[in-house]
Structure 1
Amino acid sequence: MKYRTDIDGLRALAVVSVILFHLGLLPNGYLGVDVFFVISGYLITSIVYHQSEKGKFSIIHFYERRIRRIIPLLLFITGVALVLGLIYMLPDDLENLSQAVVASNFSANNILMYITSSDYWAVKNEYKPLMHTWSLGIEEQFYMLYPFLFFLFKGEKIRYVKGILIVLTLLSMVAFLLQSNVAASFYFIQYRFFELSIGGLGAILFTNTTIKRYGQGRVLLYTLLALTTLIMYAPILESNTSKVLLTTMLTVGVLITGKQYFDQDRVYQAIMANPVVRFIGNISFSLYMWHQLVFAFARTAFIEEITTGWAVALSLLTLVLSVATYYGIENPFRKPQVMKTRTVLLAVGTAFVVTTGAAFYIYTIGGIVKDYPELNLYRAELGDRRNFFSGSSNIHIEYNEKVKRLDRGFSDTGKTKVLVIGNSFGRDVANVLLESALADKLEVRYFELSRVMTDDSLRIRFEEADRVILGAQGTFGKDFLESLGQAHNFTADRSKVWVFGTKDFGFSNGIHYNNITDETNFVTYRTKMKAHGPRRNRELQEEWGDRYIDILAKLANDEGEILVFTPEGKFMSQDTEHLTKSGAEYIARLFEPELTEILGTDPETNPQ
C-alpha cells in the first residue's frame, strides 16, 4: 500500500479533539475516538483483505503486528500510572486504578468502565488516569475476532467477505440505534463494531474507485472534511447517536475520497499533510495514551482546576512525553529489524506479568499500601484480609454497607423507633444516628429505596415508626409521600417525616491529601463543591421547609466551599460523597441539638 499522508492529518484532528475534550474545552471532542475507530477499520482491512485475496494472510503475523504496535506502550503507561498512584493516591482511588490496570492489560477496560462508571461524561472520570483505555479495549476486542473472517475466507472465498461484513455492519448499527442503555451502546464492542467495519467496507468496496470529475471530487472532499470538523468543534447537534453516525460516515467518506487526492492536490496536502500535522498524527497513539494520565494526576496531586495556563503547560508536558515514547518505545518495538520477535514477546510478557500481578495484589489489599491516618486506615490492621471481588465487605464501603443489616422490622424495645429510607446516602443517615449521643435511646431501622414502591412491608414499618428520615441525596420530591401511600394503600403521615440534607465534599480527596501539611488548619480548610450540590440543596429546602435537615448550612459557606476534614484532621468522606466513621461522628456532634429536638428521648413525645 502507498502510504497515506493525509491519514496522519485525520489522526491529528482526532487526537487533538480528544485532548481538548479532556481539558474541558471541547464538548464534542470525544468524537475523535470515533474517527480513530473508522481509520483503524479502514487501514487494517486494506492490508488483510489484499493479503487474503492473494492467499498470503497469516493470522500469526497479524497478531504479531498488533502486539508490536499497541501492547508495549500500553503496558508502559499502565506501569507508570500504577507507580504514580502509589505515590499520590488515597487507597480507594488506588484500588480503582489497580482494577483499571488489570482490565486495560486484558483489553477489557471498556467493560470495567461500564460496570463502575457508566456515565463517560461524569466529572469523576476526569480523575481516572486510565479511563481512556476503554477505546483500546474495543479495538483490541475487534482485532481478536476480525482476522478470523479473512483467515477462513482467504483466496477465492474472499468474495464472501463483503456480504458478511455488510450484514454484520447493519446488525451492529441497528443494535446501536435500538439500544436504550446509553452506557452499553458507548462501551460495548457489539454496538461499536459498525464504526470499525464501515471503515473496512470503505477500503474493500472502493479499492479501485476513481472520481472522473476531478474538480467536483475536490469539492466533495473538502465538504466532507469541513463537516467532520464542524460536528466535533461546533454544537450543531444534540443527539449523541446523530453525532456518532455522522462522524462515522463522514470520516469514511474522507478516507475514500482522499485516496485520490492526498498526493495530487496541494491544498489538501497543505491542510492534512503539512509537517506539523503529520508529526502530531505520527505520535497520536502516544499523545492519546499520555494525555489522560497527565491530566488526571495533575488534578489529583497539584491543581484543583485546569486553567488556560495549566492547560498549555500540561499539553506541552504530554507532547514531550509522547515524543519520548514514540521514539523510545513505539518505533523500536514496531520494527522487526530493530527488535526481534522473541525479544518483543519476552519484554511484553515480563511487563504484563509484573504490572498485572502488582496491580491485582494492590487491589486485593484495598490500595492500603501504607498507613493513612487521615482515613483511620493502618496497614498493620489489615492483616491477611483480602478484597477478592468483594461486594459489601469491601474495605472502603463496609461501614456504609453494614447498615443493610438493619433492613428488618422493629422490635418491642421501648426505644424511639426511627425508620431511615434511602440508598447509600440513606445509610449515611443511619450511621449519623448510630454515632450520635442518642444512639442508645433509638431503634434504627433501614429500608432500601429501590423497594419502596413494591415491598408492602414498608407500610408496616412506616406506621410503626415514631420518626421517618428520608436520605437519598435529593431523590425525594414533594409527591414522594403521596406516591408511597398510593403504592401501599395507606396515608403516609407527614408529621413524623424529615429529609436529611444533601452533602458534597468536592471533586477529589487526592488534592487535599497531597497538599495538607502540619500547619493546615482543619477547622477552616475548605474545597469548592460541585455545582449541583448547592442547587439541589436549595430545591430541597423549598420542597420540605422545616422538615429539612440542612447539612450544608453548617458545613459550607456562602461561596460554595465546604469543610473537608473534621477538626481532628480526619477526612469526612473517603470518596467525596459518602461519610467515613469520623465524618458521621462529627456530623452527629454538630447536629446534636437538631437531632435531639427531632428524635427526642421518649417515643411517646410528639415531634414539634
Structure 2
Amino acid sequence: MFVYRDEIDGLRSVAVIPVILYHAGFTDYFAGGYVGVDIFFVISGYLITSVIDHECEDGRFSLVSFYERRCRRILPALFLILFLSSIFAYKHMLPDQLKEFGETLIAIVCLSSNVYFWWKDDGYFTNISELNPLIHTWSLAVEEQFYFVFPLLCHFFAKKRRCLVILLISAALMSLLLSQWGGNLRSLSINQFQGFAQPAYATFYLPTGRIWELLCGAFIAFYLRIKDSSKEFSRLTKEFFALLGVLLIILSVVGLDNHRVPPFPNFYTILPVSGASLIILFAEKNTTVGYLLSIRLVRWIGLISYSAYLWHQPLLAFLRIKSTSTPQLNLIIIVIALVFPLSFLSYKFIEQPFRDKQRFSRKQIFAISGLCSAITLILAIHSIQTANIQSMTAEQRGDEYLSDLRKYGNWEYVVRDFDALERRKTFSNQTAALGKKRMVLIGDSFAQDVYNMIIEGKHLANYEIRVYFVYSRCQIYLGTEDRKQFIEKRHHQTCTNANDIKYALPLIRQADVIMLASNWYEWSAQRLPTTLKLLNLTEHQQVFVIGSKHFGIVNPALYVNKSTAFRKKQFQAPKTEIVNVNNLLAKSIEKHIFVNVMKMVCTGYNFTCPLFTPQGKLISHDGAHLTKYGAGYVGEIIFKNKPLNKL
C-alpha cells in the first residue's frame, strides 16, 4: 500500500532551493546547485513507481488514469508559465531570441524541449542559458519521455516481476555507462587513447544518461514494497544512513562545480542520487533527518517546489534580458523572494484545483490540455512570425541593425574565416617568389577577431597568413611548469592535445612574423616573458602580443529602434580583470611588441569603451567578440598605430 510521507515533501525543498540559487548566480556557495534536478529525478521515480506498483498489485492500473494524473500534475502550472513568458518575450526579446522562444514552445508542447536544446547545442552551463527563460523545461521532457515507456513495462510485466527487475537493472546500468561515456571518461587520456567521445550535452539533455537516476527511485519503491518488516533496521542505523544521505547532498551542492568536474551527468552524479536514495530509504519521521524534513516550513516549500521550479528561471532570465548590465545583488534577491509567493499562488489556484477530480473530470482535463496545447502552438507560430516581421520591417525602414546583428553579431561570423584558413597546415612554397612575407596568428577566439580585423580592413596584404587555434582555457604558454595546475580539471583532456602552442612551433619556425592573441589569464600573462623567450626566435623574426579586450556587458536588445545618434553616445566600462591583465602585460612586455587594444579603443570619459562605431554600427554583440563592423573599426585603429603600423 502506498503511504504518503511528509519527509518526501521536505526532500523536494532540498532539491529546489539549490537549483534556484545556482541559477540566480550564487555559485560560490552553491556551485553544484544544479544537482537538485538529479534529486528530483530520484523522488519522481520513487513516487510514481510506488503508485504504479500499488495499482498493479490491486489489478486496477490504467494507462489512461496514469496519463490523466500526469496531465493534472504537470500541465496547468506549466501552461500558465508559458503564457506569461510569451507576453514578456513578445515585448522584450530580440527577433532572433523571439524566434527561438517560439521554437522552444513548439518543442515543449511536443514533450521534446530537451531534444531541442541538445540540437541547438547552446550548453546548459553557458551564459546563453541565463537568458533562456524556458531552458529548465528540459528536465520535464526527460521525465515525460521516461514515463511513456516505464508504465507500459510495469503493466506488461506485472505478473513477471523478476523479468521486469532484470530488464530495469540492465537499463539502469546501460544508462549509467552512457552518462559516464559523455562524462569523465571523456577527460581521460592515456597516450593516444582518449576514452569515449560522445558529445557531453547529449548525455546532459537526453534521457539516455538520466534513466538510471529515475530507476534508482523505482528500485527503492520496489524494495520498500517487499521489505520484511520483521527485519527492520535499528534506529541508530536509520539515523546514520539518513545523515549520510544529507552529507552526500551537501557535498554535491557545494563541491560539484561544473568548472571542476567533467561534463554532467557522470559517475559523480552517484553522489546526489545516493544521497536522495538514502534519505528516502532511512529518513523516517522518527529520525532526526526525517523530523527536520517534516517541519512545516520545509514541507511547505516542498509542496510548492514544482511551481517554484517553473517560476524561477523565467523571472531570472527576463531580469537579465531587461538589464543594461549584470543585475545587482539586491535585484536578484528580490526576484528570488518573489518566486515563493508566486509559487504559492499558482500552487493554490492552479495546481490544486486541477488535481481535484470533483472540480475537473477526466474529459475536462484532457480537453483543457488539448486546448492549451493548441493555444501554445498558436503563440509559438505568432512569435516566430512576429520575429520575422520585425526583422523585415527594420530592414524596410533602412535600419540595418537587426540584419547586421543576425548576419555578423554571432559566433558563426567570429569563427568562419579563421576556421577555414586553419585547414591549411603549412605555408606555400611560392611565398618568396610572390614577394610576400609569412605570418602566423596564434590564439583563441580573440585571435579569430584579429583575423577578422585583417580581412575586413584588408590589412597585411603583403603577408601569407596561417593560423593556429589554442583554446582560451588552455592559454598560450611554454615553460617547465605543468600548466595543468592552472587549468580547470574538466579541460585537461582538451589542453593535453592540439590546444598547445608547442604544436604550432613548426609554423613559427617558418614565419617572419608571429602574432599571439588571447583572452589572457593572469597566470599566463605573468609567464608570457618566459614563453616568448622559449620560442627561440631569430633576430629576423618579429613577435607581437595582442592584449585582451572588453566593452562591458552588452545587451543588443536595448538598441533596437534607436537612432544612430543615440547609439553613438553609448559608452561602457570594461571588466576590471581585463584592464588589470592588460596593465600586467604592459609592464612585463616591451612596448614595441605589445598591442594594448583597450588603451587604443577605449578613449571615452573615465576610460569607457564605445559600443558603436562612428557610423552607428554595433562593435561587439557580447561585450568581448567583434561584429563585422567592430572588426573593421578596431582593426583600423590598431593596424594604423604603433607597433603594428610597421607591418
User: TM-score band, normalised by the shorter chain?
Assistant: 0.7 to 0.9
Conserved? CA contact 2:445–2:518, under 8 Å? yes
Note the C-alpha offset of 1:248. Answer: 0.8
Hey, what does 2:81 align to over in structure 1? 77
Correspondence for 1:403 among 402, 407, 417: 417
2:366 aligned with 1:346, yes or no? no
Verify: 1:226 aligned to 2:246, yes or no. Answer: yes
Is 2:637 the counterpart of 1:590?
yes
Which residue of the partner structure matches residue 136 of structure 1? 140
Amino acid at match of 1:20: L
The amino acid of 2:613's aligned partner reads: T
Q: 1:323 to 1:402 in 2, by over 3 A?
A: same
Q: Pick one of 291, 301, 322 that aligns with 1:301.
A: 322
User: What is the one-letter code of the residue matched to 1:551?
Assistant: V
Distance apart, 1:200 and its partner CA: 0.5
For residues 45-124 of structure 1, the aligned pairs below 5 Å read: 45-114=49-118, 120-124=124-128
Letter in 2 for 1:170: L
Deviates more, 1:238-247 or 1:474-483: 474-483
The residue number in structure 2 matching 1:580 is: 627
Taking a change above 3 Å as real, the CA distance of residues 228 and 418 of structure 1, as seen in their structure-2 partners, is: closer
Contact 1:422–1:471 at 8 Å: present in 2 too? yes
Q: 1:298 to 1:372 in 2, by over 3 A?
A: farther
**Residue 38 (structure 1) shift:** 0.5
Query: What's the CA shift for 1:249?
Result: 1.1
Counterpart residue type for residue 38 of structure 1: V
What is the CA distance between 1:509 and its match in structure 2?
A: 1.7
Higher mean alpha-carbon deviation, 313-322 vs 57-66, is at 57-66
Q: Give the drift of 1:45.
A: 1.1
Q: Does 1:495 align with 2:541?
A: yes
1:157 to 155, 160, 176: 160
Q: Relative to 1, partners in 2 of residues 1:460 and 1:196: Cα closer, same or farther, differing over 3 Å? A: closer
Equivalent residues in 2 for 1:270-349, closer than 5 Å: 271-302=292-323, 304-339=325-360, 340-349=364-373
Q: Which position in structure 2 is the counterpart of 1:216?
A: 236
Q: 2:275 aligns with which of 250, 253, 263?
A: 250
Which one of 400, 424, 428 corresponds to residue 377 of structure 1? 400
Cα drift, residue 114 of structure 1? 4.5
1:101 and 1:543 map into 2 onto residues whose CA distance is 52
Q: 2:555 pairs with 473, 497, 509, which one?
A: 509
Alpha carbons 2:247, 2:275 under 8 Å: kept: yes
Shift of 1:534: 5.0
TM-score (norm 2): 0.73
Aligned residue identity for 2:640: P
Query: In the TM superposition, what is the alpha-carbon distance from 1:277 to its structure 2 partner?
Result: 2.2
- Provide the C-alpha distance between the structure 2 equivalents of 1:62 and 1:459, rounded to a whole number of angstroms: 64
C-alpha separation in 1, matches of 2:119 and 2:598: 31
> Distance between the aligned counterparts of 1:321 and 1:399, measured in 2?
41
SS of residue in 2 equivalent to 1:199:
helix
Report the equivalent of 1:390. none
Q: Structure 2 residue aligned with 1:529, among 562, 571, 575?
A: 575
Paired with 2:401 and 2:578, the residues of 1 have a C-alpha distance of: 34
Q: TM (normalized to structure 1)? A: 0.77
Contact 2:132 2:317 in 1 (8 A): yes
Instruction: Give the letter aligned to residue 17 of structure 1.
Output: P
Query: C-alpha root-mean-square deviation of aligned residues, in Å?
Result: 4.6
Aligned-residue offset at 1:550: 2.4
- In structure 1, the gaps of 5 or more residues are 388-392, 486-490, 601-606
- Could you say which residue in structure 2 is the equivalent of 1:12? 13
The corresponding residue for 1:186 is 204
Q: Is the 8 A contact 1:105 1:356 kept in 2?
A: no
Which position in structure 1 is the counterpart of 2:487? none
Hey, what's the Cα distance between the residues in 2 that align with 1:221 and 1:460? Answer: 58
In structure 2, runs of 5+ residues without a counterpart are 187-199, 471-496
CA contact (8 A) 2:450 2:635 kept: no
Q: Which amino acid aligns with 2:417?
A: V
Partner amino acid, structure 2, of 1:301 = K
Q: Please, which moves more after superposition, 400-409 or 169-178?
A: 400-409
CA drift at 1:546: 3.9
User: Does residue 27 in structure 1 map to residue 52 in structure 2?
Assistant: no
**Matches of 2:254 and 2:460 in 1, distance apart?**
60
2:241 & 2:565 partners in 1: Cα distance?
A: 62
The amino acid across from 1:257 in the alignment is F
Residue 125 (structure 1) shift: 3.0
1:357 counterpart residue number: 381
**Residue 145 in structure 1 maps to residue 149 in structure 2:** yes
In 2, are the aligned partners of 1:506 and 1:528 still within 8 Å (CA)?
yes
Contact 2:418 2:451 in 1 (8 A): no
* Equivalent AA in structure 1 for residue 571 of structure 2: Y
Counterparts of 1:397 and 1:530 in 2: how far apart (Å)?
Answer: 24
For residues 537-590 of structure 1, the C-alpha deviation after alignment (integer angstroms, 9 at most, x for no partner) is 846985787434222233459999654333555421123332123322321343
The residue aligned with 2:176 is 173
Question: In 2, Cα distance between the equivalents of 1:269 and 1:509?
Answer: 46
Shift of the alpha carbon at 1:298?
Answer: 1.2
C-alpha deviations, 1:192-244, integer Å up to 9, x for none?
A: 22111011000001224346355325523651453245325544997575652
**3-state SS of 1:571 partner:** coil
SS for the counterpart of 1:206 is helix
- Alpha-carbon deviation of 1:345? 3.2
Of 47-56 and 160-169, deviating more is 47-56
Kindly state the Cα deviation for residue 314 of structure 1 after the two structures are TM-superposed. 0.7
Instruction: Give the C-alpha shift of residue 48 in structure 1.
Output: 1.7
